[in-house]
Structure 1
Amino acid sequence: MTTHTTDPSRTGSRRPRYAYLGPEGTFTESALLQVTGGEDTESFPCSDVVTALEMVRAGTADYAVVPIENSVEGGVNATLDTLSTGEPLLIVREMLVPVAFVLCALPGTRLEDVRQISTHPHAWAQCRGWIGRNLDGVTHVPATSTASAAALLASGEPQSFDAALCSELSAREYGLEVLASGVADNPNAVTRFVLVATPGHLPEPTGADKTTLMAHLPDNEAGALLRMLEQFATRGVNLSRIESRPIGDSLGRYSFSIDAEGHLADERVQAALVGLHRVCPIVRFMGSYPRADGVRPRLLPGTTDADFRAARDWVTSLLGSGSGSE
C-alpha cells in the first residue's frame, strides 16, 4: 500500500495538522487513520466538508481528509464544488474505505418504534431498499455525517428522529443500541476519500496514478463535449470518472469534474492537458496522485512516453534539417 509522508516544508518541526469530516467515528476518520497510522498528529473534526477544506486554505490545517466519491451514489458534490472554486488545492492521495451500516437507537428503543431516521444523505441512499422493506413509512432526517447523527441521538437532548444509520464503531462509541446490522443494499459499497493540501510538490509518479481536473465547456457550441473528450481519447488517456456540475451563474451552464488515468509527469497526460487548454475556456488541475487500488492503465500502441518523445524528436529533426521521412 502507498503511504503518505508528511511534507516537512508544510509543517516545520511541529506535528502535522489534519482537518476531516467529523465527528469522531465517521468513515472519514477511518480514512484519516489510513494516512496517519502511528504518526504524531493533530486532528480537527469538522462539521462539514467545506469547513475542512477551508481550514487548509486558511492555513489552520496542513491537510484535509474528505469523501469525494461513493461507489453507489457517485461524486460528493460538496467536495467537488469546493475543490473546483476558490484558492487552488491539490489532491495528494486517495484512500478507499468499505462502507457498512447499522441502524441504532437509544437503549430500550424497539425497531417497530422507529419513525424517523437521521444520517448523511449518501448513507440513506445506500440503505433505502432495506428500510422500505423493513420499516414502513419511515422518513429521513438529513445529517452532516453518519457519526453526527449518532452523536446527536446520544446527546440526551430532544431530537426529531428516533434512530441513526451509522458505522458499528459510531454506535459503540456513542453508547447506542444496534437494532439491525447489515442494512446496506449493496454489501460491496466503497467510499473514496482524498487527502488535500495546498499546492506544492506533487507525489512522484508510480505508474498507477490518477489526475483530477475540472473543465468548463465553451458556451453554445455544438460538439463542445465531444471535442473535450477527444483530447483524452486521441492521446490514449482513459477517464475513470466524469461528472457534470452546474457552474451556478445561470441555467444550462456546466463544468466537468474528471479523473484521468495517469500522472502529470506522463507524456500522454501532458499532451491531453495541452489539448484541453486549447478547447476549454477554464481548466483547473487538482492533482496527480497514486491510485489506491494500484491498478496500472493499459497503454495503447503509440501512447507510451517513449512514443511521444520519439515523435517530438522527429519533428525537431525536421525543423533542424528541413527534411525527414522516418
Structure 2
Amino acid sequence: MTTPKIAFQGEPGAYGHQACQEAKPGYDPLPCPTFEDALAAVRSGEAELGMIAVENSTYGRVADVHQLLPDSGLHIVEEAFVRVRIALMAPKGATLEGLRRVRSMSILLGQARRFLNEHGLARLNWSDNAAAARTVAEMADPAEGALASPMAAEVYGLDILADGIEDEGSNTTRFYIMSREPNLSRRGDSGMITSFVFRVRNIPAALYKAMGGFATNGINMTKLESYMVGGAFTATQFYAEIEGHPEDRSVQLAMEELRFFTDYLHIMGVFPAAKPHHPD
C-alpha cells in the first residue's frame, strides 16, 4: 500500500514541510514550486491533501491565497498552526563573526530585523527560505548564510549559528489543509469553523445588512477580510469565518439572511477549530 501524499509550497525544509510533518506525520510531503502547483496536485489526485499557508501572526495574511482558494475546487478540512522558529545557518565550519550576508524571503528577513541589525549582516531577498538554505549549501562560502527553519539546516547539511532569532517570540503561521472532498460529519472538541467567501449586492448598506443575521442569531464572526477581484476597485469580495456548523439552526438562519444580500456565496470549508500551539 502506497503512503498518501500531502502537497506544500516550497522546497524540502520549508515551513510548509514542517507543518506537514507535525500535522500529518502519516503522509509523504510533496514539495511544489507554487501554491497553484500544490492545489493542482491535490485536484489531480497526485496528493490527497494540501498544506497551504494563509496567515502569519507577525506578517499578516499570505498574498494571493484568498484569491486562489475559492477557484481551486478544493475544501478546507482542517487548520494547523506552526511556530515559526527562525534559524541562521551557514556551511559547516562557518562562524557568526565571519558571516557577511544572509539570504531569505523578505518576510523572514523582516521578522529577524533586530538580530540582523545587531550583527551588521547584509540581506538578500530570496524566492524561498528553503531554497536560500540549499543555495548556501551549494556555495559552501563561510561568508554566506541563510534564514530558514531548523529543519532546512538538517536537510541541506548546514550549521545553525543562531536559533530562535525572530523578533516576536510568538511568531506563528496558520495553514489550511485542503482536500478534494468536504467532511461535514465532525464536531470538534473546540467547536467548528465555517469559512466562506461572498460578494454583497450593489445596494445601500448591503454589507451592514448582510452581517446583521449573524448578530441576531448569536453567531460569532472571527474573521472578515476584503480583497479586490478581477483587478477592479468596485468588485470587492469578502472572506469570512464564523464559529459553528452549517447544520446548526442558528447558522442556517444567518446564512439565509446573508444570501438575500449577496450575489455570490461559496462555502470554503467546515473544519474543527485548532488551538494555536507554541512548542519550545
Shorter-chain TM range is 0.7 to 0.9
Match of 2:207 in 1: 225
Q: How far is the alpha carbon of 1:115 from its aligned partner?
A: 5.4
Q: How far apart are 1:156 and its partner, in Å?
A: 3.7
Work out the CA distance in 2 between the residues paired with 1:176 and 1:185: 23
Q: How does 1:4-15 map to 2 (within 5 A)?
A: 15=3
Listed one character per residue, the Cα deviations across residues 238-273 of structure 1 (whole Å, up to 9, x for unaligned) are 122222222133134321121211122222222222
More strand per residue: 1 or 2? 2
Structure 1 residue 141 corresponds to structure 2 residue 125 = yes
Is 1:71–1:189's contact at 8 Å kept on the other side of the alignment?
yes
Is 1:19 paired with 2:4?
Answer: no
**Residue of structure 1 in register with 2:107 after alignment:** 122
Where 1:282 maps in the other structure, the secondary structure is strand
3-state SS of 1:258 partner: strand
d(CA) in 2 for partners of 1:211 and 1:150?
37
Contact 2:77–2:183 (Cα < 8 Å) also in 1 = no
2:84 aligned residue: 99
**Counterpart Cα distance in 1 of 2:2 and 2:58:** 39
Query: Which protein shows a greater Rg?
Result: 1
Question: Measured at CA, do residues 202 and 155 of structure 1 come closer, stay the same or move farther in structure 2, by a change above 3 Å?
Answer: farther
Letter in 2 for 1:49: F
Match of 2:199 in 1: 216
Instruction: Answer yes or no: is the 8 Å Cα contact 1:88–1:286 preserved in 2.
Output: no
CA distance in 2, matches of 1:272, 1:121: 40
State the aligned residue count: 274
Structure 1, unpaired ranges of 5+? 1-12, 295-326
The answer to whether the 8 A contact 1:50-1:78 is kept is no
Distance of 1:215 and 1:75 partners within structure 2: 18
The verdict on how the C-alpha distance between 1:81 and 1:117 changes in structure 2, with shifts beyond 3 A counting, is farther
C-alpha displacement of 1:112: 5.8
Q: For the Cα contact (< 8 Å) 1:112–1:135, is it kept in 2?
A: no
Q: Tell me the alpha carbon deviations over residues 157-186 of structure 1, each in whole angstroms, 9 at most, x when there is no partner.
A: 99xx93211112211321223233221111
The partner residue of 1:272 within 249, 254, 269 is 254
Residues 108 and 215 of structure 1, relative CA distance in 2, 3 Å threshold? same
Q: List aligned pairs for 1:52-201, cutoff 5 A.
A: 52-84=38-70, 86-107=71-92, 109-111=94-96, 116-135=101-120, 138-144=122-128, 146-156=129-139, 162-201=144-183
Distance 1:274 1:117 in 2: 53
Cα distance, 1:285 vs structure 2: 0.6
Worse-matched range after superposition: 105-114 or 285-294 = 105-114
- Structure 2 residue aligned with 1:322: none
Mark the CA change 1:118 to 1:217 in structure 2 (over 3 Å): closer, same or farther: farther
Equivalent residue for 1:261, pick from 243, 266, 275: 243
Q: If the length of structure 1 is used for normalisation, what is the TM-score? A: 0.75
User: Higher relative contact order by CA 8 Å / sep ≥ 6: 1 or 2?
Assistant: 2
After superposition, where does 1:24-43 map in structure 2 within 5 Å? 24-37=12-25, 39=26, 41-43=27-29
Q: 1:142 to 1:237 in 2, by over 3 A?
A: farther
- Residue 154 of structure 2 aligns to a residue whose secondary structure is helix
Q: Percent identity?
A: 28
Determine if contact 2:182/2:269 at 8 Å carries over to the other structure: no
For residue 32 of structure 1, what is the amino acid of its counterpart?
C
Deviations 1:95-118 (A, max 9, x none): 111111012223455546655533
Cα distance change, pair 216–118 in 1 and its aligned pair in 2 (3 A): farther
Equivalent position amino acid for 1:58 in 2: S
